[in-house]
Amino acid sequence: MIKLIKSSFYNEKDTKKKLAKFILKAKIFSMKKECANFEKKFAKKQSRRYAVFVSSGSTANLVLIQALLNLGKLKKGDRIGFSALTWSTNVMPLMQLGLIPIALDCNLKTLNVSPSEIEKKISKIKGLFLTNVLGMADEIEKIKEICQRNKIIFIEDNCESLGSRISGKLLGNFGLASTFSFFVGHHLSTIEGGMICTDDEKLYQMLLITRIHGWDRNLGLIAQKEIRTTHKVDDFYAKYTFYDLAFNARPTEVNGFLGNNQLQYWDEMVSIRAKHFKLFQSIVGQNDDFVPLDLSHMDLISNFAMPIICKNKKTVEKYKKRFINHGVEIRPIIAGNIEMQPFYKKYINKKTYCLNSNFIHQNGFYFANNPELNKKEINTIIGLLAK
């Protein structure tokens, strides 16, 4: 079978050897130097001032939303626009933390929310949580301008788009903050893990507080002194003083070690994914059974998994059967239209009828695009994409 996840790590054999040595030598496994190192290196690679390492991409979303609430940048009852074509834990934190999710439809040509869709809902939303779908984005520079002009808090879920670029700028660097996933099946694996990136110092400090219990232990000395002085807390009681609502979303030193190890392969993995995507896209463009994408505005597409959208239900069933019969693992395109999911129907009464997201939900699937696909597997996939 050509699986979505081929191995736990890039260069797996060497990584496992190094991991075994680290485990045998390490004295502390709870969050410490390896995690701090990974944060610094990741922030530099992503071209952001700050990075906060957490236990998963999902908790990255949760911690970020809570931190924005703690700072008063958002408040309970605010309406937050989000991409209807997304993953469950992109929208769940909005619901869990008392915000009102407003689903935004995607553009069939990019699979992402377009500026025109945001303009339709602009008067109704205080924040925008955009998912950069499968390594792609719409005209995100225009989206940023719209948000700035209308004083809308703009954040990005970049869990599927590590390394993608528009106008020379990495996705994940357009909003106030962005989240990343290092789940074993994603671009860069720490088994489980996630990251929140921002250039905003106050948000960074609140993220550190929100990540672990609400205490100040991970703040720098100056910020630590300021918060203790403000709340009249001495050094003894500071050890168990909790300043705001928070979680325990700590990663481990094992996750940190793996992150530091896998970062060296960032450019290589991104380059191979982009190369595969271009090849698959060229074949898809020759088959009129498929809806073509238009991503000419993007510099580089670091594709997470290759999406296929057929023109009707009968055609998609034919291709799904073809891929499955040839041992190629396929899945729905993310979670499809999130409005159709049971949890969403249970808690949200008003639907927004995202027609394009519905169409993708019913007529799409994706297959593996990972950097370890071999020539035989690639040729098999090319054959299956042909009409």
Q: Report pLDDT digits (tens) over 323-341.
A: 999 999 999 999 999 999 9
Whether the CB-CB separation of 61 and 245 falls below 8 Å is answered with: no
| pLDDT above 80: residue 351 | no
What is the share, in percent, of the chain residues with pLDDT greater than 70? 100
Average pLDDT over every residue of 143-165: 97
Q: Which two tokens stand for residue 343?
A: 């949890």
Tell me what pLDDT residue 28 has: 93
Nearest in space to 363 (alpha carbons), one of 324, 330, 320, 327: 320
- The model's pLDDT over 241-264, given as tens digits with 9 standing for 90+, comes to 999 999 999 999 999 999 999 999
CA–CA gap between residue 64 and residue 132 (Å, rounded): 17
Report the CATH number of the 266-385 domain: 3.90.1150.10
- The model's pLDDT over 32-43, given as tens digits with 9 standing for 90+, comes to 999 999 999 999
Active site residue ranges:
186
Tell me what pLDDT residue 124 has: 87
Q: Is 105 helix (H, G, I), strand (E, B) or coil?
A: coil
Tell me what pLDDT residue 142 has: 98
Tell me phi and psi for residue 249, to 5 degrees: -115, 30
CA 290, chain centre distance (Å)? 26
Average pLDDT over every residue of 270-294: 97
User: Predicted confidence band at 161 (pLDDT cuts at 50, 70, 90)?
Assistant: very high
What is the share, in percent, of the chain residues with pLDDT greater than 90? 97
CA–CA gap between residue 171 and residue 139 (Å, rounded): 11
Whether the CB-CB separation of 80 and 155 falls below 8 Å is answered with: no
On whether the pTM is more than 0.85, the answer is yes
Average pLDDT, rounded, for the chain: 97
Comparing 12-264 with 266-385, is the CATH topology the same? no
CA–CA gap between residue 7 and residue 191 (Å, rounded): 11
| pLDDT above 80: residue 139 | yes
Residue ranges covered by each domain of the chain: 12-264, 266-385
3-state SS of the chain: helix, strand, coil percent to 5? Answer: 45, 15, 40
CA angle 181, 182, 186 (to 5 degrees): 90
The structural architecture, per CATH, of the domain 12-264 is 3-Layer(aba) Sandwich (3.40)
Q: Beta-strand (E) ranges in the chain? A: 50-54, 79-83, 100-104, 127-131, 153-157, 165-166, 169-170, 177-181, 194-198, 305-309, 330-331, 364-368
| pLDDT above 90: residue 353 | no
Whether the CB-CB separation of 8 and 191 falls below 8 Å is answered with: yes
Average pLDDT over every residue of 128-147: 98
Tell me what pLDDT residue 352 has: 79
Tell me what pLDDT residue 1 has: 87
The DSSP 8-state label assigned to residue 11 in this structure reads T
Q: The sheet that has 79-83: what strands, in order across it?
A: 50-54, 194-198, 177-181, 153-157, 127-131, 79-83, 100-104
